Amino acid sequence: MTDTSTTNARQLSDLEVRAEKERVKRNWLLSMPAMILLLLGASGPLLIVLVYSFMTPGDYSGVIWTPTVKAWFQIFFTVDIFDDTVRLADAHLTIFGRSLRLSLLTTLLTLIFGLPTAYFIATRPGRQRTLWLFLITIPFWTNLLIRTFAILEVIRNEGLINNFLRWLGVIDEPIQILYTDTAVLIGMAYVYLPLMVLPLYAAIDRFDFRLVEAGYDLYANRWQVLRRVILPIVKPGIIAGSILVFVPSLGAYVTPRVLGGGKNMMIGNFIELQFGQGRNWPLGSSLSILLLLVVAVALLFYVRAANRGGSDE
């Protein structure tokens, strides 16, 4: 173990180099088919979207291969047809604002409901806990469309709520919930709630309740134990759940389409519009990339928060 031997040490023998190359080659070969599939069916096309976002829209659909940054400009600004003045694209900003607001509210709402639920499940004794967990996983794995339909039937004008209120005599005319932002919010909170509960449950399940005992032993009351002991320790779960809800909310398509109608679009619907009636593929592409970037920032924030929290991911 002398100094000279350690400096020689990095001269890997030919054999070791060969074995190492074999290992890397084998691992790459095994992963290659999946990589190719994902390159064709997921990652590769994203690059095309990036390219398209810098092209000129075609007359009916598609693009003309003239590079331009107009689509990116269009996201935020419009040029007046009459006097060529540049103004903020209010319609777009409204949609972005709605997407952001509804996603944040959804995250908050699911957290408010999800935390007690996760805590409840995690504190059930043995077999009971499996049952409650099972009950939360059924909606999780049930088709999102089906769950959206279910909530639609509850909030529409002739739906459960309105019928019930009318039967009670509280109202004469139905309350218009469907096709409002509120409907989208209710729907997203409903469909994404399990995404919040499960990581929270995982975090609370690992929680060592002797710490709570220690808290009470040191004169904390229930509220203080929750705020000063439980919440800081399950924080990684809270962050994970929030990201898991926030990211799909921001890109939501089905729920706002079914519950928001044509008017209360979110960014996902707006993107689709550009590839349908809007016929502006470059704008749709640049919007997609923008959405991707926002999500990437959220994920980065999550990774950093998780690392700082010393969590295992």
Partner 1 sequence: MSNKRTKPFSIKYLPGFTPVALVCFVLLYAPIVTMVVYSFNSGQSVALFEDFSVAWYFAAAENELVQEAALRSLIIAAFASGIATVLATMAALGTTRTKNYPGRTLIYLMINQPLMVPEVVTAVALLIFFASIKVATGYSGLAYLILAHAAFCVPFAYLPIRARMEGMDRALEIAAADLYATPWKTFRRVTLPLVAPGIAAGAMLAFVISLDDVIITEFVKSAGQDTLPTYMLGQLRRAVTPEVNAISSALLAVTVILLTAFFLLSGRNSPVGK
Partner 2 sequence: MSDEVAVRAEGVSKVFGSPGNELRALDDVTVDIRRNEFFTLLGPSGCGKTTLLRLIAGFETPSAGAIMLDGKDITVDPPFKRPINTVFQSYALFPHLTVGQNVGFGLEMMGRSNSEIDDTVEKMLALVQMEAMRNRLPTQLSGGQQQRVALARALAPQPSVLLLDEPLSALDLKLRKQMQIELKRMQMETGITFIFVTHDQEEALTMSDRIGVMSAGNILQIGSPREIYNSPQNRFVASFIGESNFLEGTASGTGAKRRVALADGHSFEALVADESVSDGKVTVAVRPEFVQVVAADTADALPATVTNIVYFGTDMHCYMSLNSGTEVVARVSADADRGGALETGAKVGITFAPDGPRIVGD
Site for partner 1 in 187-206 (CB under 8 A): 190, 193-194, 198-199, 202
* Residue 144 interacting entry, from partner 1, partner 2, none, C-beta within 5 to 8 Å by type: partner 1
Residue 91 Cβ vs partner 1, minimum distance, rounded to whole Å = 19
> Which one of 1-9, 71-79, 86-94, 137-145 is the stretch in contact with partner 1 (CB under 8 A)?
137-145
Binding positions for partner 2, 2-31, rule CB under 8 A: 5-6, 9-10, 12-13, 15-16, 18-19
List beta partners, residue 57: 63
Backbone phi, then psi, for 126, in 5-degree steps?
10, -95
Residue 190 Cβ vs partner 1, minimum distance, rounded to whole Å = 7
Given 295, 305, 306, 309, the residue binding partner 1 (CB under 8 A) = 295
Binding positions for partner 1, 55-84, rule CB under 8 A: 62
Nearer to partner 2, 19 or 135 (CB): 19
* Residue 5 interacting entry, from partner 1, partner 2, none, C-beta within 5 to 8 Å by type: partner 2
Give the other-Cβ count within 10 Å of 33's Cβ: 9
125 token code pair: 């004794």
Question: Under the rule (CB under 8 A), what is the footprint of partner 2?
Answer: 1, 5-6, 9-10, 12-13, 15-16, 18-19
